[in-house]
Amino acid sequence: MTSHTSPNNLGWRVALAGLGINLALGVLYTWSMFKGAIEKDFGWKGDQLNDPYALCCLVFAFAMILAGRLQDKIGPKITATIGGILVAAGMLLISTTNNYTLWVIGFGVLVGTGIGFGYACATPAALKWFPKAKTGLVAGIVVGGFGLAPVYLAPLSETLLKDFGILKSMLVLGVLFAVIVIGLAQLLKNPPAGYVAETTSSASAGSLVVADLSPAQILSKSSFWLLWLLYFVGAGAGLMVIGSISGMAKKSMGTSAFIAVAVLAIGNAMGRVIAGSLSDKIGRRTTLLIVFLFQAVLMFVAIPVTGGTTTPLVLVLIAALIGANYGANLSLFPSITKDLWGIKNFGMNYGLIFTAWGVGGFVLSRLSQMLKASSGNFASSFMVAGALLIVGAGLTFLIKSPDSNRP
């Protein structure tokens, strides 16, 4: 650290670099934009259209474990740079072929791993610079980029597909993201050894230093599996309906359905920041309880809204609120992870927790497809999601205070 650069300035530089990296890694959310072109140009059918995306989500989640470990050991700059290279390699590979297997490898494995490596660095690197009182806010800002990405990626992808076609669009995006992710990765930096972000001006319980636990230690704790289950429910319930918003919106909005998707993305990003900041003030557990209950109510309200004729304004409002509550999970769970088990091994610890996002999204999204196929509507998906969220809300009362880990 140079003498003329304050830790606060360095911390915000790292946080904004992480925000920028996540804005690029949000390429994951562009898949729905490409499905139509892939079906038309490649002739893929059924599950083939979703397989590369579904595998990408799973690989992304589990790559977070290895990436988190590397981030903790060798630092975020090198790890995120590897992520940028992998994303670019995957995009460049699929830009050369319409072969299903190569797309599964390129987008599903290479891009998924690259996203995991980049995402695993952005939040931990930023949080290590800030005190507990800003954990939720900083986490919300950094991960907000991932949620906000569709706002610019949707029109960009549409333009690229129109002007260049599917293969050249992948080439352009691959080069673009390589430059952005690798460039911003050079700004990521962990604090020097011995750096303590916690303020000493307050003697409140909120400023107590939390014991740093290893991944092996947290896996033996019931609190880990409780958080994993809650993340599975919170993220999975959101993802099982978010992926269908575009189809729902087309019933009442026609070709303007993309507006609902864009508003959902804005809600997704804002929910991460608002929930993170709120949790700094009223506590993580209380905020998570509010989010789960609010999301459950929205699921039941959405049944008549999406099942019949409704005004586009109501549908857009529902989409924004569902997106916001889903996004809240992405800032609350890293914040809870840091609170409970410390910052030293935060990268890998959160990587282990984050697998719940991948498994929840995969399992509950598949369940949603099965329910839609059997019933012909989305009502059963909303009912299942709402019921799971109510159970999750009850389980939040079992989350222990960080003080229980103190030696």
For 341-379, write each residue's pLDDT tens digit: 988 888 899 999 999 998 988 888 778 878 877 877 778
Burial class (CB in 10 A: 0-12, 13-18, 19+), 200: exposed
Count Cα atoms within 13 angstroms, Cβ side, for 238.
32
Look over the chain and give the mean of its residue pLDDT values, rounded to a whole number: 85
> 109 vs 375, which has greater pLDDT?
109
Residue 156's pLDDT band, with cuts at 50, 70 and 90, is confident
CB atoms within 10 A of CB 52: 25
Model confidence, pTM: 0.85
Q: Mean of the pLDDT values across residues 26-51?
A: 81
pLDDT at 220: 94
**CATH 1.20.1250.20 occupies which residues in the chain?**
7-185, 211-398
Pick from 13-22, 68-77, 253-262, 270-279: least confident: 253-262
As a whole number, mean pLDDT of residues 324-340 equals: 93
Instruction: Write the pLDDT tens digit of every residue in 292-309.
Output: 999 999 999 888 876 666
CA–CA gap between residue 15 and residue 398 (Å, rounded): 31
The pLDDT tens digits of the residues spanning 224-255 come to: 999 999 999 999 888 877 766 655 666 666 65
Rounded to 10 deg, the angle between the 257-282 and 135-185 helix axes is 120
CA pair distance 191, 62, nearest whole angstrom:
26
Looking at residues 71-89, what average pLDDT do you find? 93
Q: Identity (one letter) of the amino acid at 90?
A: G
Say how far residue 141 (Cα) sits from the centre of its chain: 12
Which CATH number fits the domain 211-398, given the four candidates 1.20.1250.20, 3.30.470.20, 2.40.30.10, 1.10.10.60? 1.20.1250.20
CA distances from 273 to 192, 225, 280, 366 (A): 27, 25, 11, 29
Rounded to whole angstroms, the Cα distance separating 125 from 81 reads: 14
Architecture (CATH level 2) of domain 7-185 = Up-down Bundle (1.20)
Structure tokens at 303: 């049944």
Backbone angle region of 130, left / alpha / beta, with phi > 0 → left and psi within -120 to 50 → alpha: beta
Per-residue pLDDT, averaged over 264-281, amounts to 92
pLDDT digits (tens, 9 = 90+) for 371-385: 877 877 778 888 999
